[in-house]
Amino acid sequence: MKFSDFGTKFVEHCGIRQLMDDLGNAMRHGQDIMMLGGGNPAYIPAVQQRFRQAMGHILERGDRFEHMIGDYDAPQGNADFVRALVNLFNRHYDWGLGPENIAITNGSQHAFFLLFNLFGGLRQGQNRRILLPMTPEYIGYSDLGLSEQLFTARKPNIVHGEDRFFKYHIDPSQLNVDQDTAAICVSRPTNPTGNVLTNAEVRILSDLAKKHGLPLIIDNAYGMPFPSIIFDDVSPVWEPHIVLSMSLSKLGLPGVRTGIVIANKTIINAITNLNAVLALSIGSIGPTLACDLIESGEILTLSQQVIRPFYQQRAEQAVRWVDEAMGDCPCLIHQPEGAIFLWLWFPDLPISCQALYERLKQRNVLVIPGHHFFPGLEEQWQHRHECIRITYSQDPEMVKQGIRIISEEVKRAYDEASVDWPSRRSL
């Protein structure tokens, strides 16, 4: 049996598959496993109750259920859902969208596969790449390219804040765009760090993209206006050269696999064609379930009054636990500005974060070692072996216990190497 080049890529090791398998196993058999590794959103009772009610309406009212399970939707996605989204965005942001500016996909991960390969890869013999202007960046992008070396990435500037906090910023001096740049992509809020690019940073990227005739892809899976897991008020942006990707997953609906792409009509047309080729049509359950909430705008109040405060409280609690558990141990925390993760940096960690991951796994704590989050970064940088990502979306007691065990293992690593812990302030 001989696989094609395309096939070989998927027969070999696939990082995101490993991650999702670990996540799925831990969620299924997870009594003893402290799952601080995955990106599963929390079960928020008030949100789950609202979606249960929405499903009740679908079952009870007329023939909506029969249409939901019995019809192929158009490859662009459910027309009522698209219309409701267009109205919502125009009402709130005045973007002047029409239905030709939105396509639905089977999850936003799927949308990224389409977008990256629509722009990146071979064009007239030249390999064109997606520029990630700031790593760490979302691990799920890593394996999406059908061509080799799909990404080129840049290091951030690091700005130290008060106490243990630091924040990554885009380094504008490194943002050189050349002939092989196909598109620019950022997640905002960023998975894994919880960073939210400032409005000024977004403006820099947007201007750069516009100047060079490139699309700027903004991954808004955690952002505004829903699920709104962003702790400061920032506005989403859209212009015809911007591709805004959204998702229903982090509202608490990862099981329905619904992604939303907002873009100019040429891009939407290409995605619609790809949807038809790859899947005929897009799943109807997510769009049918969320349609009324989008139409009425209730999705915004649910996001801003329930989902955002829930995660903000969880983030603050997790920071307190890290601070207490780490004591004087050198552990810095990326300023949590959104998403559902804490990004921890252990400066001069004497073992790699992969070795730390292994030690934690032995103690039933699953985290994600930081080096996975630098797709496309070619230069050596010790920093990427000194960080881990933990999620605070799961059971608080489990998160607290997991953090305690992380602190024990990190302290052990520094002790074994007889590292004199630098004082926090000098870091």
Ligand X SMILES: Cc1ncc(COP(=O)(O)O)c(C=O)c1O
Cβ proximity to ligand X: between 134 and 326 the closer is: 134
Distance between CA atoms of residues 276 and 257, nearest Å: 17
Q: Does 107 bind ligand X (CB under 6 A)?
A: yes
Site for ligand X contains 249 (CB under 6 A): yes
By CB under 6 A, residue 142 contacts ligand X? no
Count of positions on this chain that bind ligand X (CB under 6 A): 14
Distance between CA atoms of residues 74 and 282, nearest Å: 7
136 binds ligand X (CB under 6 A): no
Strands, E assignment, 208-355: 216-219, 242-247, 259-262, 332-334, 341-345
Give the interface segment with ligand X, choosing from 55-63, 102-110, 271-279, 388-396 (CB under 6 A).
102-110
Q: Which is nearer to ligand X, 217 or 349 (CB)?
A: 217
The nearer residue to ligand X, 141 or 414, going by C-beta atoms, is: 141
By CB under 6 A, which span of 101-109, 117-125, 229-237, 306-314 interacts with ligand X? 101-109
User: Does the footprint of ligand X cover residue 116 (CB under 6 A)?
Assistant: no
Q: Nearer to ligand X by C-beta: 114 or 349? A: 114
Supply φ then ψ for residue 143, to 5 degrees.
Answer: -100, 15
- Per the listing, tokens 């079952």 go with 59
Q: Which residues touch 63 (CB under 8 Å, ≥6 apart)?
A: none
Kindly state whether residue 219 participates in binding ligand X, applying the rule CB under 6 A: yes
Shortest Cβ 104–ligand X spacing (Å): 11
Q: Which listed range, 18-26, 51-59, 103-111, 167-175, lies at the site for ligand X (CB under 6 A)?
A: 103-111
Q: Decide: residue 425, CB within 10 A, 0-12 exposed, 13-18 middle, 19+ buried.
A: exposed
How many Å apart are CA 212 and CA 267, to the nearest integer?
A: 17
Picking from 222, 243, 246, 253, the residue whose alpha carbon sits closest to that of residue 105 is: 246
- Give yes or no for residue 221 binding ligand X (CB under 6 A): yes
Q: Is 275 in the site for ligand X (CB under 6 A)?
A: no
Binding test (CB under 6 A) with ligand X, winner from 35, 36, 39, 84 = 39
Among 76, 247, 275, 394, binds ligand X (CB under 6 A): 247
CA pair distance 254, 258, nearest whole angstrom: 8
CB 332 within 8 A of CB 369: no
Q: Which of residues 167-186 bind ligand X (CB under 6 A)?
A: none
The pattern of x and - marking residues 191 through 210 that bind ligand X according to CB under 6 A reads x-------------------
- With the CA atoms of 274, 280, 285 and 287 taken in that order, what torsion angle do they form, in degrees rounded to the nearest 10? 40
126 and 180 in contact (C-beta within 8 Å)? yes
Helix (H, G, I), strand (E, B) or coil at 121: strand
214 makes contact with ligand X (CB under 6 A): no
Residues that bind ligand X (CB under 6 A): 39, 107-109, 138, 140, 187, 191, 219, 221, 247, 249, 254, 259
